[in-house]
Homo-oligomer: A and B are copies of this chain.
C-alpha cells in the first residue's frame, strides 16, 4: 500500500523538537518512556470507534529518520541556539528501539483505553506524537463514520464513497476512500484510490454530460451493433424516438415535455455503454423527462439485445421517487414483456447524511445503491476524533497528568487490556490491568472500578477474556501481527462491529460500554493522585 509522501519525521509540531532538546540537554533522552494513544469520547454520540491507521503508523516508524536537509531546516527554526551535538544526535535517531503494541487494525475500540502503546527512548517516542496522532485520528474517525453508514443502510444496499471533491485536499480524499472502504463501504468513485489500494471503483454519469447535449443533432453516430453481432443498420436515434412516443403513452406523460438534449445524452451514453447503461434522471424533470427518456432508451437497447443497468436520482424525495420509479419499471416490464426491467438498479445520491440515510431506510424505498460524499468524508457530526498521546511511564515508574480539568487526567502506568465477553459472545467490558497482573479467568467473578465514575465498583463474571494488544512494531514491522491487506482489515472491522451487542451500537442512546480498571490499577491511580497538590 503506498502512503502519502508527506508522512515524514518533520510532519510534527515544533514543540516536539524543543522538548527533545530539553531531554537531550538534560541527559534524559535515552530514558525509557511509554506513551498511550487513546480518545476520551467515542465519536458521533456513539459508544465505539474503529481503530484504523496502524499500517501507516508502522510504515512511518520503519522509515523514521532525519535527512540532512531536515536537520538543516531544524537549525533555522529551533528557538535559541541549541548545541551542535543535539543536531548530530538527531541525525542518528531512528525507531530501532521503539516497540508498539496495539489492537489489530480494524478493531472496535472504546473511550479511554489505549489503542496503541508506544515504548522506547524518551526523546524518540516524544518526537513520534503528532505524526502518529495525525495518521490514526482521521483514519479512525472516517472509518467509524463509514461503519455507521453501513449499520444504518443494513447489509444489502451497496454503498459508494464519492467524497473526493469535498475532502481536505488530495491526500484527505485518498485517506477517506481507503478508510471508508475499510469501514464497510463497497466501492469508491476515486480512481486513484482504486489504483493505489485495489478498492473497487464505481461511477456513472453527471449532469454536465446531460447538459452538454442540446438536441438530437448532437448525436453524431446513429448506428449501434446489436449484442448478437448482426450487422443491423437501423438508426438507433430514430428507434429511441419511437420508443419515447411509446413510453410517454404508457406513462401518460406529454411527450413534448421530454427534453431532447437529455434524450440525446441518454442515447449517446447508451451507444457508448450498451451493457452498462445507467444515467442520472434529474437534470431537467425526473418524472416528465428523465424517466420517460430513460425507459425509451432502455427499451431501444433491449431491441438490440442489451439490458440496461439503471438510474441515479440526485434530488428530491429519494425514497418516494424510488418507489414511483420501481412501479414504472414494473409497468414497463409487463407492457414491453421485458421481465428484467423490474430489477433495474436505482441508485441515489444528494448530500446524504447519517440521519437522512436512517430516515430513508425507515421509509418504504426501492433503492439499491447509495452514494455518499460530503457527510461521509468531512464527518460534520464531529469532524475530529480527538485522540491524544499521553505519557504514562518513565523508567518503569508510572506517571500521570493531574489536570484541574478531571476529564484530562490520565491513567498511569503500562497496562494490559482485556476484553470480557458474555454468554452470547458479545463483549461486555474492557478491563485495564497493570501489566504484571494475572489475566481474568473464565467463569470467575472479579471486581473492577468503572472509569469516569467516582470510584464505583462493579462485579463481573467473564465467559471469555481476550488479551487485545499484540506487538505490531519492535524496531521493525511485525508482519505476522499487522493486517496488511485492506480486505482483511475490512473483514475484521465488519466482524468487530457486528459482534457488538445491538444495544451498544444503537444510534439513539446506545447503552454505555464499560471500560474499567482492576483494583490494583485503581489503587495506583489513587496513590498517585494523593501525591498531587490537587488533593
Taken together as a complex, chains A and B put the C-alpha atoms of A166 and B377 apart, in Å, by 14
Chain B residues whose CB sits within 8 angstroms of the CB of A27 once the complex forms: 220-221
CB distance from A181 to the nearest CB of B (A): 14
Chain B residues whose CB sits within 8 angstroms of the CB of A169 once the complex forms: 4, 7, 134-135, 138-139, 168, 171-172, 174-175
Chain B residues whose CB sits within 8 angstroms of the CB of A463 once the complex forms: none
Residues of A in contact (CB 8 Å), total: 132
A316 with B14: CB separation less than 8 A? no
Q: Are A14 and B201 CB-contacts (below 8 A) given A168-B175, A374-B386, A399-B211? A: yes
Taken together as a complex, chains A and B put the C-alpha atoms of A190 and B11 apart, in Å, by 6
Taken together as a complex, chains A and B put the C-alpha atoms of A441 and B18 apart, in Å, by 58
Chain B residues whose CB sits within 8 angstroms of the CB of A333 once the complex forms: none
B207 with A13: CB separation less than 8 A? no
Of residues 126 through 166 on chain A, the ones whose CB sits less than 8 Å from some CB of chain B are: 126, 129-131, 133-135, 137-139, 142, 162, 164-166
Say if the beta carbon of A283 comes within 8 Å of chain B. yes
CB distance from A409 to the nearest CB of B (A): 11
Q: Are A80 and B284 CB-contacts (below 8 A) given A13-B190, A316-B405? A: no
CB distance from A64 to the nearest CB of B (A): 14
Count of this chain's copies in the oligomeric assembly: 2
Say if the beta carbon of A518 comes within 8 Å of chain B. no
Say if the beta carbon of A26 comes within 8 Å of chain B. yes
Of residues 1 through 58 on chain A, the ones whose CB sits less than 8 Å from some CB of chain B are: 4-8, 10-19, 21-23, 25-28, 31, 33, 35
Q: Beyond A4-B170, A27-B221, list 12 extra A-B contacts (CB 8 Å).
A: A7-B169, A12-B191, A12-B192, A13-B203, A26-B272, A135-B169, A166-B384, A171-B171, A282-B403, A285-B404, A285-B533, A383-B383
List 28 interface pairs A-B (beta carbons < 8 Å), by A numbering: A4-B5, A6-B192, A11-B164, A11-B170, A11-B173, A11-B174, A13-B191, A14-B203, A18-B273, A22-B272, A25-B272, A70-B195, A77-B191, A79-B275, A129-B165, A137-B165, A165-B387, A167-B168, A168-B171, A171-B171, A207-B390, A257-B533, A258-B533, A283-B401, A284-B403, A315-B403, A316-B404, A380-B382
